[in-house]
Structure 1
Amino acid sequence: MKQLILALFVFISVQPLFAQRADKEGSQDHPLIQRFSQSYIYFYEQTSFDPYTIVTGKSDGSKLISTQEVEGKVTRIFYSMPTEAGSVYEIYTNYLNALKSEGATILFSCKNVSNCGKYFWDYLREMDTKIQMPAYYGEEMAYIAAKFSKDGMAYYVTIIPGYGLSEMGYEVTVVETKEMEQQISLNGIEKAMNENGKVSLYGILFDTGSDVIKESSYTEIDLIAQYLQKNPSKKVYVVGHTDNTGSYQNNISLSERRAKAVKNVLTSKYSISAGRMTSAGVGPVAPEAKNTTEDGRKKNRRVEIVLNEK
């Protein structure tokens, strides 16, 4: 079996690619994903910012069980290749193993109806009108969806190999989204407070439905304490935010309890006067991103420190 690597992780010499036809004019491989031997680019499209739906569960015969919406820079590449250069199973297995071995999260993978579910490919084409896998490739098909991170970017990848009517092809789609900044400094907090009157904190974490602060959160709480100690005349609001999962009232209550928990720990552990802080929870009513994607919901779950300048 030919060994496939991801250009993201390893750069080594590989056998030359003997394409039967030239790549489509203006096309190129995505710099993080290496093509399979002897394949050439039949279709290429890149958009600066678009939504994209990833399948994360098989079909139950009436619909796709689960999907995930992401958005960002989208690159679609459809490769064609001679049938003697490989098989659907070979392409599927090589990409799947390469992704797993380098630490990518496999969101979903399946091969043929037995794994993917009845009408999976029909639903996939209905959901994604831009998909290039033609219907006649359906004699044998497979699907991989994965996510990995590099240099502050999150990459969502789908790979769909297929065979039909003595033709072989596979489609690679890469969606690049910016990871949320988790690193914050005292200087960064001071700059945000001076320029915007508030700072958003994404590293103050809780379990789902809980107002118990996770231990990893104290890095950011410590920095807020340092800011308040350095600026003893400042008063602030401690504001809890949630995504829109669950009922409105539950989210309001949860965000209030979480804000109060942060205020209490600043008082009990760091001796910040309770009179300098007012806690409040606004639930899902002031989102920073759309709640239609997991990345958006993650950004909406936050604690903000807002200047009280009365």
Structure 2
Amino acid sequence: MTSSTPTRTFDELVAEAAAVPVDGWDFSWLDGRATEARPPWGYARAMGERVARASAVLDLQTGGGEIFARALEPLALEPLALEPLALEPLALEPLALEPLALEPPTLEPRALVPPATAPTRPVTAVATEGWPPNTVRAAALLRPLGATVVAAADVPSLPFADGAFDLVVSRHPVTAWWTEIARVLRPGGTYFSQEVGPASVFELVEFFLGPRTPEERAVRDPERAAHAARAAGLDVVDLRTAALRTEFHDIGAVVYFLRKVVWMVPGFTVERYRDRLAELHRRIEAEGPFVATTTRFLIEAVKTGRRPV
């Protein structure tokens, strides 16, 4: 039986994906067109738990602010002030057949108090972002939640005082500047991050660029990150890795992904890679989804009193 849904052409799929805005870090446009398994540690939830305990938090390279907003939204509402219930004493008349002297019951009002362990909004919440379209998007999303967005390029010089934060977070930073992260953390403060791992989605990268060198495949190695963190004076308390199945179901998903994640195929444009895109389109049509492996690692490090190496 043939499908009643007409097959979209290569040109239609590519034109649609090339016209979609790619600001922010929301990948919902790929729903139904690409899939990626999620790491088992649940970064957004775990980050939210840490933000709820922090007094001053910095989100580095926030993108469009979507993940940071998810952490701040539950904390944005002030505790509800509940007045004690005003309960009037119940007036009971004595029964007519056998009079009884009944005292009205005394009902004590109960004050409903939020539990002492309820999460609170950080006194200071700051996010940095270097790409202007994302900076605008993040500001619109985060400012109503009490966060300040600072336009800051991805360079090893953060515009903050020493020891300004007790929590620094970052999801998929382009670069982790460990010395600066350690500098802006207070003693006992924590850095918590999910990062892109080595050779992530390299099946797709190598389809367009050819084989990568061993050195290129080793970039973003989690053990190297842990070594750099320790050299900056941080103690690594958690380091986990995950290899995740990723599928691209049509060529439009590939175009959108490479336009959004610009470091995968630097200088990517539809015009420049049209022939390779057409070849990949034919392959997907004949064989099914293009499969790649996404790699991620989770790192948590605490600033101690020891001097950097």
Is TM-score (shorter-chain normalized) higher than 0.5? Answer: no
Report the structure, 1 or 2, having the larger strand content: 1
Taking structure 2 as the reference length, the TM-score comes to 0.25
Bigger relative CO (Cα 8 Å, ≥ 6 apart): 2
Which has the larger Rg? 2
Taking structure 1 as the reference length, the TM-score comes to 0.25
